Structure 1
Amino acid sequence: MSIPLDTSVSMAWKAAPVRLLRWLRGDDRPLSDLQVSHAIGLARIALIVGLVFLHYHAYPNSTATPFDGLDPAHHPVATFVNSFVLFFFFSAVPLLSMISGWLFFSFPAQQASQALPRRIRGRFRSLYVPLVFWNAVFMALLWTLYRLSPGSELLGELDFRFGQASILDYANAVFGITHRPVGFQFWFVRDLFVSILVSPLLWWSLRRSPYVGVAVLGAAWLVGSGLLIFFRTDVVFFFYLGGFLRMRQVRLEIGPGATLVLLGLYLALVTLRALAPLWIEWEGSRPEWLTGATRAMRLVGVLACWGLIQHVASTRAGMALARQGGLAFFLFALHFPLIAQIKLLLWRWVPAETDVWMVAHYASSVVLTVAIGMLAGSLLARHAPGAFALMNGGRALEGSSSRAVTASAASTDRPHQGTGAGSP
């Protein structure tokens, strides 16, 4: 008896996700609670370091933006390296957002009415309070710099003009209401917190019409719509996907074979995107189709990066790095405008504006920023745990015995008992 064509197509369509998941998992066994904890800890610190690379922005002697790709006319090798690394770590925000969603929607369905308000309050303390604190500190320091040296190069690096700013500009610089805060990186924290504020609506969609939510948020992300309340919808879209995976108890492992394939594909896509100006010409803004394609390749990047992180986290070196995950938020909070200042200071020591020295400046600026951030965080956690708890959003370092840090950290949810790998 033959099967009707429309029925066979429908069966194949429904079986496709199952086949994809089987291929992704390979022969790997389900991840244990401890393995998930290590992977999340490693993801947090590795991806935040990636964001430090990303927020280096352009070389001081370059007028081209790495968001376009390499500059074929001026220093093509150095600008290719900058653009390649930037596009590779474009997947950092989506993956961090997905981890946050997976952690946030970990409660049983019958406890939603109590869990959602409690978690919103907890994320207010662990996300929004540090956002306001850090940006208030940045504004105070920058205002002092402006009064002492209004022509400072650092002020020119920031998108804030003290002499022309309105009351709303100052409010946004600290609170991130309708424009990103003065600490550039905190746009992500702001959008993540807004995603949490609307989590009851996301929860309803995940329960009632999960695929409609994926379609709506995914479409908004691909076309660049902020849905009136977000700076960028990649945060809420991948936050939603993390909740989707958690509620359906989808296994998180990606096999070594699939990881290699995905990583190879992602590296190829990133290379092509960084080289795009060699064969695509445009004047003014980038073509919409190229921008959309750049966003879409992050789907491959999320899978590739998670697979790589998962396998590295099982090694001795990976587990050692995962233990530094408690410093990830502190490094994230501190790194900008710190890297902007370090970039300017180190540029004075560049002996020649060649591709080699430009790449060396790029790498050394990031390494020095990360080193200062990690050292400052470690010293604060040891000698001023109360201040560290406030600045780090209550995220505890592994093995910390500080009552202040431990008490504050209790407000953040954790993937499993005994891990400090809470919300990024």
Structure 2
Amino acid sequence: MNRSAEMADLSGTIEVARVVLVIGLVFLHYFAYPNSRVPPFEGFDPNHHQVATFVNSFVLFFFFSAVPLLSTISGWLFFGFSARPWEAIRRRIGKRGWSLFVPLVIWNLGALAIAFALRAVAPTSSLLGPFGIDFAHFGLWDGVDAVLGLTRLPVAFQFWFVRDLFVTVLASPLLWLMLRHAPLLAAAALCVAWLADFTFFGLFIRTDVLFFFYLGALARLRGVEPRVGWNTTKLLLLVYVVLMALRALAPLAFDPSQPDQREMLDLFTRLARPLGVVACWGLCLRLAATAWGEVIGRYGGFAFFLHAAHFPLIIFVKFVLWRLVPAETDAWMIAHYAAS
């Protein structure tokens, strides 16, 4: 395959990955069933609706690899230059301001307006909870913080990824120096920070984006072949699926409400993410080579809109559709989950 054909092939895979991974994030942001008190982040509920809560928890843990893979792709794309690096970095920071920061502000202002409109018509509604706003003590700083996510999650919480990605892009000159002068040492240091969930004194909401963005950049500059064989992909997927299933079933052997056990489970989940990144990328490579992949790839440009628009819409859809559920059985709960 010549160079231009290879890049076109990778471009198609990236478009497929964007669509598939964002769909996964939408499922992840379903959160708990309306009739369940156990958050899917802890695992399935061993006492009630075991099948439905397992499905929700397993899908959530599986797609924990979505943000790391999207960040890896972003780093690989950002550092794809061969000459005049400082000029290229400066230009790309400016472009990311328009493609990341401006949508961050606009969509969060919209979500904030929806939150206040909902409070005006239904001040005691439980639907206000996901917005994370203290309406009784809301001031100008709170509004700025809710929109930009300076010390908290943005009011449209899915934009934490966009917010951290923009901060990472702003730090790209420093990352470039690290990549040029101490690439492996910097990778090790960022890995330790990521495993320890060190946010650099609140500069990042989570360090997943920073670490995997750096890995993508490192892979690009080291000339790592961005391909995974199908046989390798199947093996990695099998291992990853088994690990995430075990994580979803963890409440059978562990108590996630205990801080020490929760930290151990969180570390286990975190350590599995690089495996999920490679497995999911290999799956996207395979999917992109099919007729279905060609169709999915056409909607790559729609992925950002889907990511931006799914909250707060999903909380209203969940509320409305739950009223239509005829019985609170596992089958109907899963149907509600998929429909929402």
5 Å-filtered alignment, 1:78-157, equals 78-108=52-82, 110-157=83-130
5 Å-filtered alignment, 1:22-421, equals 32-108=6-82, 110-228=83-201, 229-285=203-259, 286-365=261-340
Could you tell me whether the CA contact under 8 Å between 2:115 and 2:131 is conserved in 1?
no
CA distance in 1, matches of 2:297, 2:119: 39
| DSSP-derived class of the 1:331 partner | helix
The alpha-carbon deviation at position 73 of structure 1 amounts to 1.0
Amino acid at match of 2:123: P
Amino acid at match of 1:87: F
> Which protein has the bigger helix share?
2
- Residue ranges of structure 1 left out of the alignment (5+ in a row): 1-27, 366-424
- Residue ranges of structure 2 left out of the alignment (5+ in a row): none
| DSSP-derived class of the 1:32 partner | helix
The alpha-carbon deviation at position 166 of structure 1 amounts to 3.6
CA distance in 2, matches of 1:198, 1:75: 45
Write the deviation string for residues 201-230 of structure 1: whole angstroms up to 9, x where unpaired. 000000100011111111111111111211
Write the deviation string for residues 233-274 of structure 1: whole angstroms up to 9, x where unpaired. 010000000100111121111111101100101001011100
Q: Give the length in aligned residue pairs.
A: 337
TM score, norm. by length of structure 2: 0.96
CA distance in 2, matches of 1:161, 1:345: 25
| DSSP-derived class of the 2:80 partner | coil
CA distance in 1, matches of 2:25, 2:257: 28
- Let me know the Cα RMSD of the aligned residues: 1.5
Amino acid at match of 1:347: W
CA distance in 2, matches of 1:330, 1:106: 25
CA distance in 2, matches of 1:177, 1:282: 29
CA distance in 1, matches of 2:256, 2:234: 34
Amino acid at match of 1:113: W
The alpha-carbon deviation at position 29 of structure 1 amounts to 10
Write the deviation string for residues 85-137 of structure 1: whole angstroms up to 9, x where unpaired. 000000000000000000000112x4112111111111010001000001111
